[in-house]
């Protein structure tokens, strides 16, 4: 039955089909089926079991879509979905409980609480780079909050998309949770419908399309976008550890195809050669002398992105700035870790999100100049600094605006479920992870309870001067 419903969704998915699908899910939501604790719990358990039972299928799909190394798939996709389910299962009863709040003298005597209610029928559109995680992590929040859900995974990771569609049909309640596979046409048909929330992960150009479509129905959105996430490296730090942590956040995250991967480095002119040497040493230790042969690096997702990336490093004023790497193999869609030193600020690579294995380094006279460079662009999804200087850390935290910051490491904030994960400005709006996921898919309903005691006459007309003076 579940499989049949998914099969039906796969055929000719146009606006009419999208409307029928949303209608079915609206009926399911209106029946109250998704609201109770038991349904939410059972769906979270289903998702957890699906992830546990099929870990190796997920790893194989990610290898097929991205050549993703197994440890990266297990750690950053499987384990993160698993942990999100486990946390939600542990905390759900607590999250669902109304939160008592203080009242004011104006309403005395009264009590008040914030009731988290499901929004209704929600749409999740996800991206290709962490296709299992980015599809199912938001689903955890949506079902924990008691919503009916439609998920559209990315067509650029077709093996993972097909696997998710098949498994969700088998492990989850298909009367309230459905997967629609497809590309722009299918996403457009879905976006024409009225949703109670749209949660989109991807680039800012499509983010604007999503927001415009949502505006027609006054639908709230979460936009998980990207940006140019900088790394500032100050003098006096342990360069070996700093380099390793930069490398693991860049090339160790899907070969730089991660939204929070370091996009560029800013360091001082004096430190730059030492930092380049440290990065080279560690890169060679990790990926060998011929990184194109390394099994520990993902490939580029497709030839469009491969060509986009080679254009960035082959631009005239940039190509002679390569100090490490630069090798590529179009037949295998592989690009080696590549470092570029002192690229001009007005080149392509410094004016779009790189989202791949190229790492330019900008140099400044004084490390403090970094902050103006960062703040002169769109607000990034993440920003990192390596420093031992307490004042510099404080200055960084106070003055650099980004979705999230990490001091003396990269990307690790993503794994801290007590922190909201999301962008600001051009890098997006709204946040999720942990309880923030539950909140992202809940309406916080304000409820005041009064009795028939203490009925103050001054509230009622006629409004006499005497009442005003009270
Ligand atoms: P993508 O190409 O997979 O697109 C994302 C989704 O948008 C897909 O499901 C796709 O079908 C849909 N889509 C594409 N064109 C559309 C259109 N015209 N109308 C409606 N839907 C459309 O992924 P991408 O955009 O290349 O992803 C990379 C970007 O996403 C980068 O900017 C990256 O930083 C960002 N990203 C952000 C996060 C985050 O959590 N903030 C995570 C991953 C990626």
**Counting every residue, how long is the chain?**
470
Q: Is 366 exposed, middle or buried (0-12, 13-18, 19+ CB in 10 A)?
A: exposed
Q: Is the separation of the CB atoms in 225 and 426 below 8 Å?
A: yes
Q: What are the φ/ψ torsions at residue 181 (nearest 5 degrees)? A: -85, 155
Q: Which of ligand 1's atoms lies nearest the C-alpha of 227?
A: 34
Rg (CA), the chain: 25
Residue 388: count other Cβ atoms within 10 Å of its Cβ: 12
382 in contact with ligand 1, CB cutoff 6 A: no
- 396 CB under 6 A from ligand 1? no
Q: What is the mean pLDDT of residues 2-25?
A: 78
pLDDT of residue 12: 79
- Virtual torsion, Cα 98, 430, 120, 161, nearest 10 deg: -130
| Strand stretches in 71-207, DSSP E | 99-101, 110-118, 121-125, 148-152, 177-179, 197-201
If we measure between CA atoms, which residue out of 457, 448, 468, 416 comes closest to residue 114? 448
Output phi, psi for 35, to 5 deg: -80, -35
Assess whether pLDDT exceeds 80 at residue 394: yes
The Cα–Cα gap between 265 and 109 comes to 58
* Pairing relationship of beta strands 148-152 and 358-364 according to DSSP bridges: unpaired
Average pLDDT of the chain to the nearest whole number: 96
Between CA 72 and CA 78, with CA 74 as vertex, the angle to 5 degrees is: 125
Inter-helix orientation angle 37-53/55-66, to 10°: 70
Nearest-CA residue for atom 43 of ligand 1: 259
pLDDT at position 168, please?
98
Q: Which residue has a Cα nearest atom 40 of ligand 1?
A: 224
What is the per-residue DSSP string for 281-326?
A: HHHHHHH-S-GGG-TTSPPPSSHHHHHHHHHHHHSHHHHTTEEE--
Whose CA is closest to atom 11 on ligand 1?
183
pLDDT (0 to 100) of residue 464: 84
Which backbone phi and psi does 389 adopt, to 5 degrees?
A: -85, 115
Task: Kindly state the percentage of the chain with pLDDT values over 90.
Answer: 93
Residue 375 · residue 369 · CB < 8 Å: no
Q: CA 276, CA 283: separation in Å to the nearest integer?
A: 10
The maximal CA–CA distance of the chain, rounded, in angstroms, is: 88
> For residues 266 and 359, is the Cβ–Cβ distance under 8 A?
no
| pTM, two decimal places | 0.96
Q: Which residues contact 20 (CB under 8 A, 6 or more apart)?
A: none
How many degrees, rounded to 5, is the angle at CA 442 between CA 437 and CA 448? Answer: 135
Give the closest residue to 217 by CA, choosing from 198, 202, 200, 199: 198
Q: Whole-angstrom Cα distance, residue 223 to residue 195?
A: 15
Residue with CA at minimum distance from ligand 1 atom 8: 154
The whole-number pLDDT of residue 276 equals 98
How confident is the model over 52-76, as a mean pLDDT?
98
Best residue among 84, 125, 127, 151 to mutate for probing ligand 1, ranked by most atoms within 8 Å of CB: 127
Local structure of residue 219 (DSSP, 8 states): -
Confidence of residue 1 (pLDDT cuts 50, 70, 90): very low
278-332 pLDDT, tens digit each: 999 999 999 999 999 999 999 999 999 999 999 999 999 999 999 999 999 999 9
Give the pLDDT confidence of 199-224 residue by residue, as tens digits.
999 999 999 999 999 999 999 999 99
CA atoms within 13 A on the CB side of 156: 17
pLDDT at 264: 98
Strand pairing category for 221-224 and 121-125: unpaired
Q: Which atom of ligand 1 is nearest to the CA of 130?
A: 43
Q: What is the pLDDT of residues 87-146, one digit of tens each?
A: 999 999 999 999 999 999 888 899 999 999 999 999 999 999 999 999 999 999 999 999
> CB under 8 Å to 69, separation ≥6 — which residues?
295, 296, 297, 298
Helix (H) / strand (E) containing 161: helix 158-171
- Distance of CA 290 from the midpoint of ligand 1 (Å): 31
Instruction: List pLDDT tens digits, range 179-203.
Output: 999 999 999 999 999 999 999 999 9
**pLDDT confidence tier of residue 439, bands split at 50, 70 and 90:** very high
Atom of ligand 1 nearest to the CA of 126: 9
Active-site residues, by number, are: 224, 259
Instruction: Pick the closest to residue 440 from 152, 137, 36, 145 (CA basis).
Output: 145
Residue 56 has pLDDT above 70, yes or no: yes
Phi, psi at 194, each rounded to 5°: -90, 125
Ligand 1 centroid to 427 CA: how many Å? Answer: 12
Closest ligand 1 atom to the C-alpha of 127?
Answer: 3
Query: Using a 6 Å cutoff on CB, does residue 184 contact ligand 1?
Result: yes
Q: Indicate the pLDDT class of residue 22, thresholds 50, 70 and 90.
A: very high
Query: How far does the centroid of ligand 1 lie from the alpha carbon of residue 103, in Å?
Result: 43
User: What confidence score (pLDDT) does residue 106 get?
Assistant: 86
CA distance linking residue 362 with residue 142, whole number of Å: 41
| Beta bridge mates, 232 | 266, 385
């Amino acid at each position: 039955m579940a499989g049949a419903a998914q099969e039906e969704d796969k055929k000719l998915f146009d606006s009419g089909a999208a409307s029928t699908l949303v209608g079915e899910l609206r009926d399911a939501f209106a029946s109250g089926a998704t609201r109770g604790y038991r349904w939410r719990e059972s769906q979270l358990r289903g998702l957890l079991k699906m992830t546990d039972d099929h870990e190796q299928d997920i790893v194989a799909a990610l290898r097929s879509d991205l050549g993703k190394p197994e440890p990266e798939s297990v750690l950053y996709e499987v384990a993160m979905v698993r942990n999100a389910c486990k946390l939600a299962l542990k905390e759900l009863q607590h999250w669902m409980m109304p939160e008592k709040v203080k009242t004011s003298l104006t309403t005395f005597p009264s009590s008040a609480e914030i009731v988290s209610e499901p929004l209704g029928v929600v749409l999740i559109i996800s991206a290709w780079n962490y296709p299992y995680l980015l599809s199912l992590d938001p689903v955890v929040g949506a079902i924990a909050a008691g919503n009916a859900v439609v998920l559209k995974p990315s067509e650029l990771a077709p093996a993972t998309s097909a696997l998710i569609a098949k498994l969700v049909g088998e492990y989850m309640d298909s009367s309230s949770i459905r997967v629609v596979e497809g590309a722009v046409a299918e996403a457009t048909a879905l976006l024409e419908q009225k949703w109670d929330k749209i949660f989109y992960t991807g680039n800012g150009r499509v983010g604007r399309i999503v927001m415009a479509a949502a505006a027609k129905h006054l639908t709230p959105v979460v936009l998980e976008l990207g940006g140019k996430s900088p790394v500032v490296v100050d003098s006096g730090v342990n360069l070996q550890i700093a380099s390793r942590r930069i490398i693991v956040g860049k090339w160790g995250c899907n070969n730089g195809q991660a939204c929070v991967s370091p996009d560029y480095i800013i360091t001082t002119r004096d430190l730059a050669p030492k930092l380049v040497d440290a990065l080279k040493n560690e890169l060679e230790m990790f990926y060998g002398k011929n990184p194109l042969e390394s099994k520990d690096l993902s490939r580029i997702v497709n030839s469009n992105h491969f060509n986009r990336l080679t254009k960035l490093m082959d631009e005239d004023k940039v190509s002679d700035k390569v100090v490490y790497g630069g090798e590529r193999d179009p037949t295998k869609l592989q690009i080696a870790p590549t470092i570029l030193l002192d690229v001009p600020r007005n080149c392509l690579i410094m004016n779009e999100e790189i989202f791949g294995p190229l790492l330019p380094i900008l140099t400044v006279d004084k490390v403090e100049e970094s902050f103006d460079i960062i703040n002169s662009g769109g607000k990034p999804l993440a920003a990192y600094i390596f420093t031992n200087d307490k004042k510099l850390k404080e200055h960084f935290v106070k003055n650099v605006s980004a979705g999230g910051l990490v001091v003396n490491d990269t990307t690790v904030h993503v794994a801290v479920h007590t922190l909201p994960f999301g962008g600001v400005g051009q890098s997006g709006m709204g946040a999720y992870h942990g309880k923030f996921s539950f909140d992202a898919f809940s309406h916080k309903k304000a409820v005041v309870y009064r009795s028939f005691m203490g009925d103050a006459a001054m509230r009622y007309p006629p409004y006499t001067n005497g009442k005003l003076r009270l």
